[in-house]
Amino acid sequence: MPAINRAAVLTKLHKVLKKHYEPVNPPAGRTLLENMLFACCLENSPYAAAEQAYEAVSKAYFDWNEVRVSTVKEISEVMKALPDPQASANLLRRCLQATFEANYSFDLEPMKKLNLGVAVQKLSSYDGMSAFVVSYITQTSLGGHSIPLDAGAMGSLAVLGLVEEGASAKDGCSGMERAIPKNKGLEFGSLLHQLSVDYTTNPYSTNLHKILLEVDGDAKARLPKRGVKPPEKPAEKPADKKPAAAAPAAPAKGAKPDAKAAPEAKGKSDGKGKPAEDDKKKSAAAPAPGKKPAAAPAPTAKKPVPAPAKKAPEKKPAAKSAPPGKRKPR
């Protein structure tokens, strides 16, 4: 963010706001606790709605302890005049609970006797106490110089380049209390809060943009713009996939595998234009893409070849006995 003259921008902002809004003075006679609870209603809400919600809660319950022990839903139904009654009721109940746990009562008037820094530090330590509520109490009850900032105020200041975009109210605006004198703090705070409510209600309002550009003409690029729906990307066509080669069917039992059924493999050749025998085996063993490899066919059981019957040894013809000789005559 380029360096800007913060004091000059804030001074001009005060003058421009006085032309478009009327300052609102806080009601006199409220205690520190009452200013704290009113600030819970006022954060991110118009003054009229905050007064209406505060009065409704004050009359609907017997005392503040009854509010403390009630549910957020019950309290929000009483504070329905606010833009976000659920959030405001939750903040109010948490502040009451933190006050009771710290003091075992709802009397915060002794804090006015403390040093300003000590009192602010103690209030800031309460669980659920927002930066807006602490600044409002400091300004209205403790006599300090602190300008309350909520989400809408931080958004407006970001458009004017006084704070970083997305900064929270807890971060504050550097140099604001120095640029705006203490005797103008209440007035400037009420004017800025009205701008904040307009920003929260409709950040795209033409009147709001005119006020901000009147303060800083170079802020046009930082003005909130309605979101433009990005063009839809065309659906990607699925890549053409080649049909997977069918796995060779397992040969029937007793049948010899057909050599022609094996897919031809590219690679080595046996010199006669036919794939080599090794390549054929590799091609047949490779599984088809995207499919699990087919189980190898069970080897065909070979029928046992009966051993040739042994020929019985040829019997040699028995030697013929010599013909009986002629008997010699006696």
pLDDT at position 192 over 90 = yes
Q: What is the mean pLDDT of residues 214-234?
A: 76
Threshold 0.85, pTM exceeds = no
* Spatial separation of the C-alpha atoms in residues 82 and 290, rounded to whole Å: 63
* Spatial separation of the C-alpha atoms in residues 113 and 5, rounded to whole Å: 37
15 and 55 assigned to the same domain = no
- Residue 320 is which amino acid? K
111: domain range? Answer: 31-140
pLDDT at position 129 over 70 = yes
Specify the range with the lowest mean pLDDT, choosing from 28-37, 48-57, 124-133, 232-241: 232-241
Query: Is the residue at 110 inside a domain?
Result: yes
Going by C-alpha positions, the residue among 68, 138, 71, 123 that lies closest to residue 96 is 68
What is the model's pLDDT at position 310? Answer: 52
Confidence band (pLDDT; 50, 70, 90) for 126? Answer: very high
Regarding predicted confidence, which is higher, 157 or 1?
Answer: 157
How does DSSP assign 1-19, residue by residue? -----HHHHHHHHHHHHHH
Specify the range with the lowest mean pLDDT, choosing from 44-53, 221-230, 260-269: 260-269
Please report how the helices 206-215 and 6-20 are oriented relative to each other, as an axis angle in degrees rounded to 10: 140
40 and 98 assigned to the same domain = yes
158 and 204 assigned to the same domain = yes
120 and 184 assigned to the same domain = no
The position carrying tokens 């300008």 is 147
pLDDT at position 228 over 50 = no
56 and 205 assigned to the same domain = no
105 and 88 assigned to the same domain = yes
Alpha carbon dihedral 83, 89, 90, 95, in 10-degree steps, equals 120
The position carrying tokens 């007064």 is 51
Kindly give, in sequence order, each residue whose CB lies less than 8 Å from that of residue 39, ignoring residues fewer than 6 positions away.
132, 133, 136, 137, 148
280-310 pLDDT, tens digit per residue, is: 444 445 555 545 555 555 555 455 555 555 5
Query: Is the residue at 300 inside a domain?
Result: no
* CATH classification at residue 108: 1.10.340.30
Query: Is the residue at 118 inside a domain?
Result: yes
Q: What mean pLDDT, rounded, does the chain reach?
A: 80
In whole angstroms, what separates CA 272 from the centre of its chain?
67
Of 97, 114, 140, which residue constitutes the final position of a domain? 140
Confidence band (pLDDT; 50, 70, 90) for 4? Answer: confident
Contact 92, 75 (CB under 8 A): yes
Query: Is the residue at 57 inside a domain?
Result: yes
What is the model's pLDDT at position 262? Answer: 42
Three-state DSSP at 243 gives coil
pLDDT at position 328 over 80 = no
Query: Is the residue at 97 inside a domain?
Result: yes
Query: Is the residue at 318 inside a domain?
Result: no
43 and 114 assigned to the same domain = yes
20 and 68 assigned to the same domain = no
Confidence band (pLDDT; 50, 70, 90) for 246? Answer: very low
* Spatial separation of the C-alpha atoms in residues 145 and 159, rounded to whole Å: 24
Handedness of CA 135, 140, 141, 145 (dihedral sign): positive
Kindly give, in sequence order, each residue whose CB lies less than 8 Å from that of residue 304, ignoring residues fewer than 6 positions away.
none
Contact 38, 140 (CB under 8 A): no
Kindly give, in sequence order, each residue whose CB lies less than 8 Å from that of residue 267, ignoring residues fewer than 6 positions away.
275, 276, 279, 282
Q: Is 109 exposed, middle or buried (0-12, 13-18, 19+ CB in 10 A)?
A: exposed
Query: Is the residue at 185 inside a domain?
Result: yes
Query: Is the residue at 295 inside a domain?
Result: no
18 and 43 assigned to the same domain = no
Q: What single-letter DSSP state applies at residue 87? A: H
Confidence band (pLDDT; 50, 70, 90) for 266? Answer: very low
36 and 129 assigned to the same domain = yes
40 and 97 assigned to the same domain = yes
Going by C-alpha positions, the residue among 178, 259, 172 that lies closest to residue 8 is 178
pLDDT at position 268 over 60 = no
Instruction: Classify the phi-psi angles of 43: left when phi > 0, otherwise alpha if psi is within -120 to 50, otherwise beta.
Output: beta
pLDDT at position 277 over 80 = no
Percent of the chain with pLDDT strictly greater than 70: 68
51-109 pLDDT, tens digit per residue, is: 999 999 999 999 999 999 999 999 999 999 999 999 999 999 999 999 999 999 999 99
Number of domains present in the structure of the chain = 2
217 and 164 assigned to the same domain = yes
Of 140, 164, 185, which residue constitutes the final position of a domain? 140
Of 178, 195, 224, which residue constitutes the final position of a domain? 224
Q: What single-letter DSSP state applies at residue 163? A: S
Kindly give, in sequence order, each residue whose CB lies less than 8 Å from that of residue 208, ignoring residues fewer than 6 positions away.
195, 198, 199, 202
Kindly give, in sequence order, each residue whose CB lies less than 8 Å from that of residue 114, ignoring residues fewer than 6 positions away.
122
Cα separations (Å) of 275 from 172, 235, 246, 248, 256? Answer: 82, 44, 20, 18, 21
Percent of the chain with pLDDT strictly greater than 90: 63
